[in-house]
Chain A
Amino acid sequence: MKALQSRLRNLNASKLPGVQLFQTQNKEFSAQAAFTQRFKQIQEEALLGGGQKRIDKQHASHKLTARERINLFFDQGTFVEYDKYVTHRCHDFGMEKEKIFGDGVVTGHGLVNGKLTYAFSQDFTVFGGSLSETFAEKICKIMDKAVLTGAPCVGLNDSGGARIQEGVESLAGYAEIFQRNVDSSGVIPQISLIMGPCAGGAVYSPALTDFTFMVQDTSYMFVTGPEVVKTVTKETVTKEELGGAKMHSSVSGVSHRAFENDIEAIASTRQLMTYLPQNCHEKRAPRPWTQFDRNSQSSCKVLNNIVPFDPNKPYDMKIVIDSVVDRNQFYEIMPDYARNILVGFGEVEGRVIGVVANQPQVLAGCLDIDASVKAARFVRFCDAFQIPLVTFTDVPGFLPGTVQEFGGIIKHGAKLLYAYAEATVPKINFITRKAYGGAYDVMSSKHLNGDYNYAWPTAEVAVMGAKGAVEIIFRGKNVEEETKKYEHAFANPLKAAERGYVDDIVIPENTRDIILDNLKVLESKNRIKPARRHNNLPL
């Protein structure tokens, strides 16, 4: 990787003996030599982007420059840059006089955690990071390379939008990127970091990628900004309110996580990438599991006690996940959005898993529109990249009400159902407590080709809670007595186990060991999807 850099360094005129020879013997013969000298200057210029003044401004607004971000992102000294000297081709509005090497985006490849990765980093100091035809070409070049070599592609976004001086060429550039986002989707992991403005058409590239991370207070995303909003809808909002990291991470669900600053966002992205494979054709290799890891792992004994006796009492499903995964490290995706469902990555003895779990602490763990969509997208990501799914079910049903029905919980709930049903990666499920009604079916049930389905002794698999069921069956007669009967029949996992809908009723503290064992068994799982042009999931 360092080869190119060192070659460039060696071009330094004074160090080339041949050049010296020319210089001393024949001054007229030194056009090449002159260039090599000028080249040093060009190099420095290219590194400075929009100049020191703009860099200082960038820093003053608590943002890093495109190059600083690249340096943070790649393993030290591994970044190889492409198209450093590209300039735009615009000849309108005096733009021909303003050319800056690189044209506002730094692109290239390098190593992240030792693995080949492509990245572009938009430079806000150059024309406000605005996207020109050449700017887009540079991005497209690395996106193509990433697919060709089967390596992840990461975009560090900080751009004022389209380069207005260029007009349609700029718009074409966006679309070229979108097309590549779609073509690479499900082939290589794509991650977007929003580290400054990202408005108008520009928002759609991140939206097409697998994960979008934002930085608090310095980044925002919207299709139309506050000024246009005000003229059209008369609403007065700030940029932060309309499209800040907090809003997108907790309300809209456009962003998958919000970070305090650039350093944190980039460090966390690097950590996320440790869970991902290079492309859809390979599994992420298990990390070696050492004696050290074994000694550090706490037992899962807490799982024996965590489900309260009172079925209406919540408990923290995060504790369940934390105690199952290696080092208690659960990399949560969308922690602030639809908190009634938890999704994220973890490892079990070094093998990566995608975890989906109802969170009884929020909305009693109900499935609603947001939760269904959040989990569906995560399930599809895991399936695309061969990451086995482990599901923890404690779901009292779908959230009732006009808001949900008007909002189309039917089609959104169907997305999660669809995602689980079509997923061919290993699917392991633990019912920790409630598995009621249609939501039971949806949550990685046996009937959706679940590979291993288990119930803890505290599980209840039923159409609904005892009280509601009795009200319907007996129309209010002998409610108390019949409730007891119903509870006896269904407030345990035995009925489901008798049918084989759960493969076993297991002691909670064995959960981690069971997952590990199943992962080993399912290593060679190979389910072939039927041939078709593509499926038609309910969008």
Chain B
Amino acid sequence: MKQLLRTQIRQIHSNNKTFPKTFDKLLIANRGEITRRVIKSAKKMGIKTVAVYSDADHNSMFVREADEAYRIGTPPSKDSYLRMDVILEVIKSTGTQAVHPGYGFLSENSIFQKYLQDNKVKFIGPPTKAIQAMGDKIESKKLARAAKVSTVPGFLGEVNSDDEVKKIAGEIGYPVMIKASAGGGGKGMRIAYNDKEALEGFKLSREEAISSFGDGRIFIEKYIEEPRHIEYQILGDELGNYIYLPERECSVQRRNQKVIEEAPCSIMDQVTRDKMGKQAIQLAAACGYYSTGTVEFLMDKNKDFYFLEMNTRLQVEHPITEEITGIDLVEQQILVAAGFPLSYKQSDVKIHGHSAEYRVYAEDPSRKFLPSIGFLQKYKEPRAHENIRIDTGVQEGSEISMYYDPMISKLITWGKDRKECLDLLANAMDEYVIRGVTHNVGFGQSILRNKSFQDGQYTTAFIPTFYPNGFRGDPLDHSDHAQLALSAHYLRNLYNNLGTNNHTHEKVYYVSIKGGDHDIDFKIEHVDGSKFNVTDMQSNKTTAHDASDFDLEYGAILRFKDNGENKLVQFINSKDDLYFNFYYKGNTVHSAVYTETQYQVKGHMAPPKKVDHAKSVISPMPGSIVSVSVEVGQTVTEGQELLIVEAMKMQNIIKSEVEGKIKKVNVKPGQSVAVDELLIQFE
């Protein structure tokens, strides 16, 4: 069944399809994975492709894969990917007939579109006026209301009296949110489920707003309970045909950045789906839309939904829609741009199975998801599998630079049902090898192990609820530790005996797993053959293990069988034939493997020294110092701004976590700093 379904979908994707003549040559005004994605469809349609690149990308995969590639400037986007004049020159000199903008950069830039129009070059995307209409938050809402699309009810003016409060709240319908116009950080905000609460909230919010912000203006809007982010992919052509595709759910977000997306939504019913899809089309029709677009809704616990905004581009998460519908969205975009009608009618659209996407980023989940830059010193994607799709612009050796979005790849899986899809996603994450930058794969694994997520019971509050302080790895139990201990033990024997005549496998080893304050020690006793006893030295708990079929792939993925179960641990590196480091369940695990002789004397060694970070401020990321707001001898309070570090064009204010006197300032504005570099010391 699964195989058949898959074959059917792949057939739609297949290269054998014949296409009408669209364009001879198209240029992709973008970089990385999305450029590769467009090249793939263009190739299939017999269109020659032109890539443009900055110096930072000269060696990138997309540059090599395009039929032609031209340098357009230096690494900063404003000097290359946003240089319309230079891109236009390339367009003219290459005889390009159409431009695909990808997402970001110039994809929603009306000046660029006008440039193209003036030069008789087709823009592969929606019409300018639709982009402009949807780009304006207020106008788009008005347009949506006019098109009978459900919007968040609210009164766009300030309320001044109790009567007004009751009246407006009644019109909107409870629950409502009473919000201070100047509010922020939860201050001056109240949720009310009835008139009494509304009046009370109004009074409190106003008082709070006056005292906190000196501004007592209050607004009321609909409070959406347990909101989920649901979006509909729509397709339209210049002839006025529209279809909507089954929804994507993107509720797992942090700071409006989507983390994991799945299609279809696990709690969606056909009636609501049709209702939402139809409204999405109504909105598209109302603004004369064509090409691909996405209409985003918030859906509450009663499956009431409200229009949020419309994205007038091909979105990052478009692959999951392709996976469950078999429709190549880029192909449709190109056909539509060439004036052809859509290849599908609404009745052709069916849901095949389930698909999910995880955005693999070079970022540090333990440091507020700050970007991590560096080289992919080791990079190996999960083994090829017909239901795993990886859209990426990088390969081993690529640099994740500070100039662009630090996305490594989009890991997409498909399954005949949600469980199969998510299981495959979890497996794929297990064997994804990324070294050289900090990444968020462990965070994704943790989300997939979350019960609420597994049950499909989650809202946009998912990350704030389960990961309020970022992510530092899932807690490990005895069984996890036993796996790690067996792995470390295996590697020590392997590394110590590499090519030497020294095959002294001792009967007993000890593995210390470094904890926060103390090590957790395990004794590993080789019973015979593949049989081992693992004893926790604190609790004296012993478990028996039949550990066999050890295999270290790529020097990074350690697979073995433990009591018949398949195990997988990611090995990072080793030092001095003593220390072995792993990446496991989002944790970076440091371990040491001791022989009996070493372990017997380990207790005499000095405990590891602790660095008192409270006394010093270190750089959370590589970047450059924009300004320093304190000087030596100054006394600062907790939360006071110390300095600003800029990285990835982002300014990050570093605030004092303690109260104290500045002893030393190690940096000056303009200076570049490395991650963990000591910036400021306190007395």
Contact = CB atoms under 8 A, between A and B. Distances in A.
Contacts of B7: none
A293 B499 CA distance: 10
Interface string A328-342: 110000000000000
Contacts, number: 113
Contact of B578 (A64, A267, A300, A328): A267
Contact of A287 (B498, B553, B602): B498
A341 B576 CA distance: 21
Interface in B575-626: 576-578, 594-595, 597-598, 601-602, 604-606, 608
B606 A217 contact: yes
B211 interface: no
A292 B552 contact: yes
A302 B377 contact: yes
Nearest to A265: B576
Contacts of B576: 264, 267-268, 271
Given A71-B597, A72-B597, A76-B504, A261 B606 contact: yes
A264 B578 contact: yes
B377 A298 contact: yes
B395 interface: yes
Contacts of B486: none
Interface string A55-94: 0000100111000100110011000000000000000000
B400 to A, nearest CB: 10
Contact of A298 (B396, B398, B605): B396
| Among B501, B553, B554, B597, residue most surrounded by chain A Cβ atoms (within 10 Å) | B597
B397 to A, nearest CB: 3
B377 A62 contact: no
Given A217-B606, A306-B375, A274 B397 contact: no
A299 B395 CA distance: 11
| Among B554, B578, B604, residue most surrounded by chain A Cβ atoms (within 10 Å) | B604
Interface residues on A, range: 35 or more
B395 A305 contact: no
A270 B497 CA distance: 12
Contact of B605 (A261, A303, A329, A509): A261
B598 A509 contact: no
Contacts of A270: 577
Contacts of A299: 396-397
Contacts of B436: 302, 319
B479 interface: no
Contacts of B597: 71-72, 76
B378 interface: yes
Interface residues on B, range: 35 or more
Nearest to B496: A113
Interface in A253-285: 260-264, 267-268, 270-271, 274
B590 to A, nearest CB: 13
B506 interface: yes
B397 A113 contact: no
Contacts of A293: 498
A322 interface: yes
Nearest to A270: B577
B500 interface: yes
Interface of B: 55-56, 59, 75, 375-378, 395-399, 436, 495, 498-502, 504, 506, 552-556, 573-574, 576-578, 594-595, 597-598, 601-602, 604-606, 608
B498 to A, nearest CB: 6
A88 B545 CA distance: 54
A10 interface: no
Contacts of B602: 263
A296 B555 contact: yes
19 contacts: A59-B604, A63-B604, A64-B601, A113-B500, A114-B501, A260-B606, A262-B601, A263-B605, A268-B577, A268-B578, A270-B577, A287-B500, A296-B556, A298-B377, A298-B396, A304-B59, A306-B375, A329-B574, A509-B397
A114 to B, nearest CB: 4
B506 A319 contact: no
Contacts of A297: 555
Given A264-B578, A296-B552, A298-B396, 5 more contacts: A71-B597, A293-B498, A296-B554, A305-B398, A327-B555
A113 B502 contact: yes
| Among A217, A274, A302, residue most surrounded by chain B Cβ atoms (within 10 Å) | A302
A530 interface: no
B604 A62 contact: yes
Nearest to B604: A59
Interface in A102-140: 111, 113-114
Given A72-B601, A327-B555, A309 B500 contact: no
B399 A305 contact: yes
B593 to A, nearest CB: 10
Contacts of A72: 597-598, 601
B577 A271 contact: yes
B604 A290 contact: no
A53 to B, nearest CB: 15
Interface in A210-254: 217-218
Nearest to B60: A305
A58 to B, nearest CB: 8
B397 A302 contact: yes
Nearest to A314: B672
B571 to A, nearest CB: 10
Given A64-B601, A287-B500, A305 B59 contact: yes
A298 B553 CA distance: 11
